[in-house]
Amino acid sequence: MATDALGSKVAIVTGASRGIGRAIAIMLGRHGARVVPAARTEPDLLAVCREIESFGGESLAVRTDMTSEEEIKRLVRTTVERFGKLDVVINNAGIGVFGPLETTATEDWDRIMATNVRGPFILCREAIPHLKPTNDISCIINICSVVGVKGYINQAAYTASKHALMGMTKVLAQEVQQYGIRVHAICPGGVDTNLIAEARPNLDRSLLMHPDEIAEIVLFLLTRRGNAVVDQVNVRRATSAPWF
């Protein structure tokens, strides 16, 4: 059922063609946001838009390669031209290549860093001037992963990229606080996506978290308006060990 909990906020969601990003885009649209789903696969983005529009939501698909500075700039520019403002940025797009560090190709390392770190950096930089003037709290949410704070064998490049994203998030939160922009990090453990199927094929997927569960956390952060601010959310599957 659609609601207006987000009050027509305009939200960019990267990596929105599938998995966590798709769930977030649909969740935000269902609760009143005007959503700009971005990813490399336009047919999948259009399918997300059709679902949002099926319950009366408003959306605009913008095909975007997060390794391209020009395409990221176009994403922000197109969003503001269409909707007149920008309130929310969800940096969810991410890739991984898995295996021992000694067999990791330099090209794969560079591609992961370009997508998982450089892309969010450019998007945040380009979005901040538009996030500053909003009349309400504006937000940047970075999907950082459990490997943003932990390390797992055969995930050196992916882990390094998410540690870097966490570092950027911590600094950014301090830099933009004065403008009323809130910056959050969500660090999920095992979520049932194609990425984890590649990274941990031995896991029982029936025990993994669902992308909708991460989307619900995003919705909570965006609708929380009190003086208490949640900087980082660590979330794990029920069968894994506690983080503390």
∠92-141-228 over CA atoms, to 5°? 155
Q: Which residues contact 19 (CB under 8 A, 6 or more apart)?
A: 191, 193, 194, 195, 211
For residues 58 and 47, is the Cβ–Cβ distance under 8 A? Answer: no
For residues 232 and 143, is the Cβ–Cβ distance under 8 A? Answer: no
CA gap 48, 61 in Å, rounded? 8
Q: Which residues contact 166 (CB under 8 A, 6 or more apart)?
A: 142, 144, 148, 149, 185, 187
158 is a catalytic site residue: yes
Query: 158, 169, 183, 214: which is the annotated catalytic residue?
Result: 158
Calculate the alpha carbon distances from 89 to 85, 86, 119, 241 in Å.
12, 8, 12, 31
The residues annotated with a catalytic role in the active site are 158
